[in-house]
Amino acid sequence: MQVQEDNEPYDQINVVPMLDLAYVLLVIFIIMTTASVQGIKFNLPKASDTPSLAKPKTKAITIDQAGQVYLDAYPVSLDELRTQLTTLKAADPELPVVVKGDSAVNYGKVMEVLELLGQLDITQLGLVTQKLVK
């Protein structure tokens, strides 16, 4: 390798800093272009300031330890449950129902309620369980 004297002119140009600058500008250009293209402009609906007085749609069926059936905390027989659910199903075909059975209740009682829900063609069904604590 030759050592250049201070008086001699350079015969090569160092292009590395120029390439670094070009790459940085290219990256900035790509980021700014894609950021301005993304998204669709639309207006979201505004929420009402007045609280909704509508009852929640989901109905809860509870079966206690003694086997008593409750619909939203009101005791009902299976025939009354069928009548009320038929009325509610007529008003809302997608009626969501959750079933809460006590852990000590006879499993047959829970199956009677589930069979009744199947006969009424209630497909939005959930079974409530307690979270397992480890």
pLDDT digits 0-9 by tens, 39-55: 555 555 666 666 555 55
28 or 56: which carries more pLDDT confidence?
A: 28
Query: Is the residue at 100 inside a domain?
Result: yes
Asked whether residue 115 carries a pLDDT value surpassing 60, the answer given is yes
CA distance 84 to 76: 9
**Domain membership of residue 111 as a residue range:** 59-127
Sheet holding 74-76, edge to edge: 74-76, 69-71, 59-63, 97-101, 125-127
Asked if the model's pLDDT at residue 61 lies above 80, the reply is yes
Query: Number of folded domains in the chain?
Result: 1
Check pLDDT > 90 for residue 24: yes
Q: Which residue, chain included where needed, has tokens 């009548």?
A: 83
Threshold 0.75, pTM exceeds: no
Residues 30 and 5: their CA atoms lie apart, in Å, by 44
Q: Is residue 26 part of a domain?
A: no
User: Do the domain assignments include residue 22?
Assistant: no
Residue 56 CB-half CA count within 13 A: 7
User: Is 68 within the bounds of a domain?
Assistant: yes
How many other CB atoms sit within 10 Å of the CB of residue 73? 7
69: CATH: 3.30.420.270
Gap between the Cα atoms of 27 and 8, Å rounded: 38
Q: Give the range with max mean pLDDT: 27-41, 55-69, 112-126.
A: 112-126
d(CA 77, CA 28): 70
Categorize the per-residue pLDDT at 27 as very low, low, confident or very high, splitting at 50, 70 and 90. very high
Q: Is the pLDDT of residue 12 over 70?
A: yes
